[in-house]
Amino acid sequence: MRKFFKSLFRLLKAVVVILFLGGITYYCIDKIQEKNNLMDIEEYSPKSTLVVPENIIKRAKFPFIDVHNHQFDMPVKDLSKLVNEMDSLNMAFMVNLSGFRGLYLRKSLENIEENAPTRFGLFLNIDFETIDDDDFAEKQVALIDSAVAAGVIGLKVYKSLGLTDTDKEGNRIQVNDPRLAPIWEACGAHNIPVLIHTGEPASFWKPKDKYNERWLELRQKPGRYRDPATNPSFEEVMAEQHAIFENHPNTTFINAHFGWMGSDLDQLGKHLDQYPNVMTEIGAVLAELGRQPKRAHQFFVEYQDRILFGKDSYKVSEYYTYFRVLETEDEYFEYYRKRHAHWRMYGLGLPDTILQKVYYKNAIRLFPNIDLNLLKH
């Protein structure tokens, strides 16, 4: 027993020494970094000394329809507060893509009908992992039929389809799995759009090194990394998505997030030329546009009838940056989320005719039942 306590004492002594030396080491490193002005990239936030005109816009020039929003508590949400925030932004109508299905969907529709019937639209969400059921297609088509009859205005497909959704055998469900074809056809028959988010930015598949533009995001959100050894390639999942656009020409698709082609607008232009049944939206890709204002301006002119306003995550102050990029010609201003863009933004200075199309006119073609009185200006 004595030997045991002696050994335990030595072990504890060694642990204390190690902790003490470790603390001294970290203290010395911190002091050396401080002395040499070394810091982590997340700490580095220089204030620009550039003196240029600034136009902070907290209200859009025209009423707008946000076609890409998520309100996950819609069944119980106090819509009066949300409507007041929308009014302050000049948001005429919000599309909540997270309508889900069943009781959640029903309660969401009831809340909207009772408290703000003209201001919100809901999209349906489908559980693709029941794809092996014998009556899968029949059930999903019936679900779409009943949801549209209840007031749903579209179908939202999350990125899990093509990436993480699996069948009963654990096999990845491809975006263009033929068993899903009746779903796309049913949406076309009801004349409701399918907003589909496929894949992730291509950088999420690339090595997490100093050359990766999204390195900071992958550091802060490591779960977003797509290891090529265990995931389908970016090219593979996007090709699957494009296949359903081609195979279902009578269905309107909204390719979310500029189809992850915001950094190559020539490619996106060819994509839209190839698939006339596809629209796109700018949610979560504003940072790509704000660093190429001349090319982006030209793209908006060329494809002004195919672009919708979308934001994705909801935070009032973040809309201000969207307005500033779209409406002004301001130079070298900050984006609101460093991990998305460590570069600065430049305004596109879009003319009113194009702003009106992006803000609401293009969306009205997809959602003709929106109250037009909301869009008066």
Q: How far apart are CA 226 and CA 67, in angstroms?
A: 27
- pLDDT of 302-353, one tens digit each? 999 999 999 999 999 999 999 999 999 999 999 999 898 889 999 999 999 9
Q: How far apart are CA 317 and CA 304, in angstroms?
A: 26
Phi-psi region of 346 (alpha: psi -120 to 50; beta: other; left: phi over 0): beta
More confident: 40 or 238: 238
Question: What is the SS3 assignment for 158-219?
Answer: CCCCCCCCECCCCCECCCCCHHHHHHHHHHHHHCCCEEECCCCCHHHHCCCCCCCCCHHHHH
Q: Identify which of 233, 205, 236, 231 has the alpha carbon closest to the alpha carbon of residue 218.
A: 205
Which pLDDT value is given to residue 24? Answer: 74
Q: Position of tokens 């070298």? A: 332
**H or E, element range at 136:** helix 136-150
64-375 is classed in which CATH architecture?
Alpha-Beta Barrel (3.20)
Which pLDDT value is given to residue 105? Answer: 98
Which pLDDT value is given to residue 137? Answer: 97
Which pLDDT value is given to residue 160? Answer: 98
Write out the two tokens for 282.
Answer: 């700018």
Q: Where are the domains of the chain?
A: 1-38, 64-375
Q: How far apart are CA 36 and CA 15, in angstroms?
A: 31
Which pLDDT value is given to residue 36? Answer: 63
Which pLDDT value is given to residue 14? Answer: 64
Partner residues linked to 155 by β-bridges: 124, 194
Is 374:287 a contact under the CB 8 Å cutoff?
no
Band of residue 7 on the pLDDT scale cut at 50, 70, 90: low
For residue 344, what is the DSSP state? P
Is 347:311 a contact under the CB 8 Å cutoff?
no
Q: Identify which of 195, 191, 237, 184 has the alpha carbon closest to the alpha carbon of residue 99.
A: 195
